[in-house]
C-alpha cells in the first residue's frame, strides 16, 4: 500500500469514528451508565426507608439465592426467590415455544399468498402494535376473567357448569404474553420464509421425502435464522415482562420484573433490587450467547 492510500485509509477511519462518536457517547451514558449504577448499588447496604447507605455489603447478592434467619442468622435457600426465577424462565420458554408453533404456520400462510394479500395480512399482524401494551393486557383480562367473554360464551353454550378460574394464574400470564409477543415471532419468520426457494420442496418430494422429512431437513434448516431471531425477540422481553404478569397474574404470580419493582417500592431494599436487575441482565446475556452460538454453528455447517 502506498503512502497516499495509507493516509486515505487513516483519514476514512478517523472520519468514521468522528461520525459515530455521538452515538457511542449516547450509548455509554444512556445504556452503560444506569447499568453501572445498578451494579454499584447491588454491593451497598439498604437504607431504612429506601435508598442506600454507602457501605460495602455483599448481602444483596447472597439474598438473591439464600435467605437469612432473623433469629439465629443461619442461611437457607430462598424458596420464594427461586420459585419466581423458575416461573419467569418457564413461562418465557413456554411463550417462545407456543408463539413459534402458532407463528410458523401463520408466517408460512402469509408468505405463500399473493403480493396484495400478503401486504394486507402483514398489515393486520402489525395492528396490535398500534395499541398500548396496557390496553391490550386489560382486554385479555376482560376476556378470561370469571365473568368475561370466554366464560360467558361457554356457560351459554352449556359446555361448562361454572366459570373457569383462569385469571390470576400462570395460565393467564402465559395467554397474555403469547398474545402480546406473537407478532414478534411471526414477522421474523415471514422474512425468512419469504426468501425461501419453493423449488426445493419440489426437489425434496421428487426424491420421495415425506412431509415431515421436508419440514425437518429442508424448511427448518433454511429458515433457522428467522426462528432464532423470533425466539430472541420473544424470550428476552417475556423474561423481563412487568405489565402482563402484574395485571393477569396478580400479586401471587409475579415474575422477575415484578419482584424487582417490589424491592424498589414496598420492599425498600434497593441493593437487592439492583442485584436482581444485574442477575436478570446476566440471564439475558447467557440466552443471547446461546442463540448466537446456535446461529454461528448453523452458518459454519452451511
What's the confidence (pLDDT) of residue 289?
Answer: 83
Average pLDDT over residues 135-161: 90
Nearest to 43 by CA among 239, 230, 280, 278: 278
What's the chain's average pLDDT?
Answer: 87
What's the confidence (pLDDT) of residue 40?
Answer: 93
Average pLDDT over residues 251-262: 87
Average pLDDT over residues 51-60: 90
Nine-digit cell at 247? 395485571
Task: Give 155-171 pLDDT, tens digit per residue.
Answer: 998 888 888 899 999 99
* Cβ atoms of 272 and 63 closer than 8 Å: yes
For 62, other C-beta atoms within 10 Å of its C-beta total 15
Residue 118 CA, distance from chain mean position: 27
Q: Does 9 have pLDDT greater than 50? A: yes
Q: Does 178 have pLDDT greater than 70? A: yes
pTM assigned to the model = 0.84
What's the confidence (pLDDT) of residue 1?
Answer: 53
Q: Does 244 have pLDDT greater than 70? A: yes
Per-residue DSSP letter, 49: T
Nearest to 275 by CA among 1, 17, 63: 63
What's the confidence (pLDDT) of residue 300?
Answer: 54
Nine-digit cell at 172? 393467564
Average pLDDT over residues 190-219: 89
* Cβ atoms of 168 and 213 closer than 8 Å: no
Nine-digit cell at 294? 446456535
Task: Give 82-133 pLDDT, tens digit per residue.
Answer: 899 999 999 999 999 999 999 999 999 999 999 899 999 999 998 888 888 9
Q: Does 226 have pLDDT greater than 70? A: yes
* Cβ atoms of 294 and 285 closer than 8 Å: no
Length of the chain: 302
Q: Does 217 have pLDDT greater than 80? A: yes
Per-residue DSSP letter, 217: I
Q: Give the model's confidence band at 6: pLDDT under 50 very low, under 70 low, under 90 confident, else very high.
A: confident
Amino acid at each position: 500500500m502506498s503512502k497516499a492510500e495509507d493516509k486515505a485509509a487513516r483519514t476514512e477511519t478517523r472520519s468514521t469514528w468522528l461520525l459515530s462518536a455521538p452515538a457511542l457517547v449516547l450509548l455509554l451514558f444512556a445504556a452503560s451508565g444506569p447499568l453501572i449504577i445498578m451494579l454499584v448499588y447491588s454491593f451497598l447496604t439498604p437504607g431504612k426507608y429506601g435508598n442506600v447507605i454507602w457501605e460495602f455489603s455483599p448481602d444483596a447478592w447472597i439474598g438473591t439465592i439464600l435467605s437469612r434467619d432473623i433469629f439465629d442468622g443461619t442461611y437457607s435457600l430462598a424458596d420464594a426467590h427461586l420459585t419466581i426465577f423458575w416461573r419467569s424462565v418457564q413461562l418465557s420458554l413456554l411463550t417462545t415455544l407456543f408463539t413459534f408453533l402458532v407463528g410458523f404456520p401463520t408466517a408460512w400462510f402469509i408468505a405463500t399468498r399473493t403480493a396484495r394479500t400478503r401486504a394486507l395480512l402483514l398489515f393486520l399482524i402489525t395492528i396490535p402494535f398500534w395499541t398500548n401494551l396496557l390496553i391490550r393486557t386489560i382486554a385479555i383480562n376482560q376476556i378470561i376473567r370469571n365473568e368475561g367473554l370466554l366464560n360467558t360464551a361457554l356457560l351459554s353454550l352449556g359446555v361448562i357448569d361454572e366459570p373457569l378460574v383462569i385469571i390470576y394464574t400462570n395460565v393467564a400470564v402465559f395467554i397474555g404474553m403469547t398474545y402480546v409477543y406473537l407478532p414478534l415471532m411471526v414477522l421474523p419468520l415471514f422474512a425468512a420464509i419469504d426468501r425461501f426457494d419453493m423449488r426445493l420442496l419440489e426437489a425434496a418430494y421428487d426424491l420421495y421425502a415425506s412431509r415431515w422429512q421436508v419440514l425437518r431437513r429442508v424448511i427448518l434448516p433454511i429458515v433457522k435464522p428467522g426462528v432464532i431471531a423470533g425466539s430472541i425477540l420473544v424470550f428476552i422481553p417475556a423474561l423481563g415482562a412487568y405489565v402482563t404478569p402484574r395485571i393477569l397474574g396478580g400479586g401471587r404470580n409475579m415474575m422477575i420484573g415484578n419482584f424487582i419493582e417490589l424491592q424498589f417500592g414496598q420492599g425498600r431494599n434497593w441493593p437487592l433490587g439492583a442485584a436482581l436487575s444485574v442477575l436478570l441482565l446476566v440471564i439475558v446475556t447467557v440466552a443471547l450467547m446461546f442463540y448466537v452460538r446456535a446461529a454461528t454453528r448453523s452458518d459454519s455447517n452451511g
